[in-house]
Structure 1
Amino acid sequence: MAATLQDQLVVAISSRALFDFEEENRLFETGDADAYVETQLRRIDIPAPPGVAFSLVKKLLAFNEPGHQRVEVVVLSRNDPVSGMRVFRSVAAAGMRVERGVFTQGRDPFRYLKPLGAHLFLSANEADVRQALAMGFPAARVATGSARAGENHPHEVRIAFDGDAVLFADEAEQVFQKRGLAAFQAHEKRKAELPLPDGPFKPLLTALHRLQGAGSQAMRLRTALVTARSAPAHERAIRTLMHWGIGVDEAMFLGGLPKGEFLREFEPDFFFDDQTGHIEQAAEHVPAGHVAGGVTNSAAGAETSERRRRSK
């Protein structure tokens, strides 16, 4: 019988998201590919340091138990196959079981997300992330300078999500960008009982919900919604989750307060947001990734956001 990843949570991840290859990447970006490969070969027996998404991946893999393969992690990298050897050796040295990898030697890797059936793609390459999102896959560009995850919750995977343009579509965010906060609040109050359209990360939240329901003796899952929304706009977000039949363990309606310090207290293994300003705040405290979609990441949205920032 052919192998299958059906009924598993599938995470595709680049080598730079999983491990700290920033020093090697600086060499690669000089254009000297041979020197890069030689460096990786010279360091082949030196395990790479953990990267931004290392804690998330290691904890998710801990959901796997003998006879119950619940999570599959696949390295999906622009690295060359030779450098891929160091990636797999670093994985083994970290005590993780990752068996599959695709190394494209500089070519676009995102086209392999479809045959993998990926529920999440993490990469340090923004162009790849944007392409993955356009194809309908939850994807985020890891902020490689992020703080690493803490160690206070070794048996609990903690994931935090922004709402609009991440879990939910950016319908409401478009109102805010075009007409301001008062119009946004009125719009959401008027549509409080109408579920928001699905956002790019709903498939991941759904897959995590299934993983949580599958049960594990070793690991638990805790999720949080961390949003700039405040009352009365909070109600539509909650009702949307209820409509989906998916709960989150914590919900923070911050009304525009900086998210970083709240995330520091929640201590997620990863945080997803569509706004670079929020990612910059969060990355000071926790691992974070930018979801490069929605109106705030369009040219018009970026211009509007900058005007609002300057007017404050």
Structure 2
Amino acid sequence: MADSVKLVVCIASTALFDCSESHQIWLKEGVESYKKYQHSHVTVPLKPGVGFRLVQSLLSLNHSAGKNFVDVILVSRNDSEAGKRVRNSINHYNLDISRMSFTNGTDVTKYLQAWECDLFLTTEEAQVRIVLSANATITSKKIAAGLVCDIAAEATHGSLNEPPSPIIDSSLLAAIASVWPKDQVRIAFDGDGVLFSDEAERVFQTSGLDAFRKYEHEKLDIALSEGPMHSFAIKLQKLRNALAAEEQWRVRTFLVTARNGVGNERVLRTLERWGLQIDETHFLGGLNKTPFLIAIDPAIFFDDSSEHIERAKKYVPAAHIVYGVRNVKPDEVVTSSSTTIPVPEETLANTNT
């Protein structure tokens, strides 16, 4: 396989494993207590985190194809000694991860370009913002980045046996999961602010639904701009196409968006113009996405809406794409789909948008 087709995923240790217990010790008692705790628990495997299922399923492609399609890089702000428990956990779960960066406090995002990273998953929002902001200014490779939701039992596959919820009876969850092929990698994307830029979302947020519909009708023949997950989706498609024809079922993609009506057509035309083939497209017209995600049972779901993530994370692994108008901080104003500038809070208080 050509090197240009290889998918490179960089993942923080806290996204791959559930490090919540040791992290609390670090927050409350400091770094020395944290190191002592890790040393005393070095032989105790960490539990899988939110990103574990995606990593495990992607690495399985290498095994089934007999080729190195996917390279997973472990990145951590630990030093090498404190990272020993993480390395032991990787070996415990038989994860084929041999490349790692332990930076001893240095921001790991400094090394993502060197790793030729396609997708970066972390539990630190600031790191996601750094990576996605850099994409707007660099001419080199763009990196997709997601903030995995807080690591909790209900966000892993173990949630299939949780108590019933108003959305779906838990007795049906295992049956839904079993419908899909066992070794298939399923990845679900939101549309605006994820695969696409937030240009249309900004119109909706500032001017309402009627203005959005008018805007989409006027722009029907103009492709939407690329969003923060565009490059990753394209690379994922290249990976699938590199598989033998009888193996391409192993990668399946989904678009789950609140759009409907005229907005559907522009999305479909954009995907066609990009040459991006999404296996399933679900235009929900504002319906709750979670029941559809439960039916899809993805390895991960990407969305720029914290509200959608909060709903979904109880049932499926989810990553928040901290990008665009939905994720502007109180001291920022959006000037384009990819850049922001800081403004005083008192200025914001006097604006009408």
TM-score by length of 1: 0.91
Q: 1:31 to 1:5 in 2, by over 3 A?
A: farther
Identity %: 41
Q: Which structure has the bigger radius of gyration? A: 2
5+ long unaligned stretches in structure 2: 136-142, 161-176, 335-353
Q: Deviations over 1:245-287 (max 9, x none)?
A: 1111111111111111111111111001111001101112111
Q: Deviations over 1:170-189 (max 9, x none)?
A: 11011111100111112112
The one-letter code of the counterpart of 2:57 is K
**Is 1:74 aligned to 2:82, yes or no?**
no
Contact 2:50 2:155 in 1 (8 A): yes
**Which residue of 2 is the match for residue 256 of structure 1?**
286
Q: CA deviation at 1:105?
A: 2.2
In structure 1, C-alpha distance between the alignment counterparts of 2:144 and 2:38, rounded to whole Å: 30
Q: CA deviation at 1:23?
A: 0.6
Partner-residue secondary structure (3-state), 1:117: coil
**Which residue of 2 is the match for residue 17 of structure 1?**
15
Q: 1:218 to 1:189 in 2, by over 3 A?
A: closer
Partner-residue secondary structure (3-state), 2:43: coil
**Which residue of 1 is the match for residue 145 of structure 2?**
139
Contact 2:196 2:230 in 1 (8 A): yes
**Which residue of 1 is the match for residue 94 of structure 2?**
95
Q: CA deviation at 1:123?
A: 0.3
5+ long unaligned stretches in structure 1: 305-312
The one-letter code of the counterpart of 1:143 is C
Q: 1:31 to 1:192 in 2, by over 3 A?
A: farther
**Which residue of 1 is the match for residue 221 of structure 2?**
193
Counterpart mapping for 1:98-177 below 5 A: 98-136=97-135, 137-144=143-150, 145=152, 147-149=155-157, 152=178, 153-177=181-205
Partner-residue secondary structure (3-state), 1:210: helix
Query: Once superposed, which parts of structure 1, at least 4 consecutive aligned residues long, lie more than 6 Å away?
Result: 300-304
In structure 2, C-alpha distance between the alignment counterparts of 1:254 and 1:7, rounded to whole Å: 33
The one-letter code of the counterpart of 1:89 is N
The one-letter code of the counterpart of 1:194 is I
The one-letter code of the counterpart of 1:62 is S
The one-letter code of the counterpart of 1:127 is A
In structure 1, C-alpha distance between the alignment counterparts of 2:120 and 2:48, rounded to whole Å: 18
**Is 1:268 aligned to 2:291, yes or no?**
no
The one-letter code of the counterpart of 1:83 is A
> RMSD value over aligned CA atoms?
2.1
Structure 1 range deviating more: 144-153 or 13-22:
144-153
Q: Deviations over 1:98-134 (max 9, x none)?
A: 0011112222110111111111000001111111111
In structure 1, C-alpha distance between the alignment counterparts of 2:248 and 2:199, rounded to whole Å: 39
Structure 1 range deviating more: 87-96 or 119-128:
87-96
Q: CA deviation at 1:45?
A: 1.4
Counterpart mapping for 1:179-218 below 5 A: 179-215=207-243, 217=247
Please point out which of 18, 21, 33 is paired with 1:35. Answer: 33
In structure 1, C-alpha distance between the alignment counterparts of 2:284 and 2:302, rounded to whole Å: 16
Contact 2:5 2:238 in 1 (8 A): no
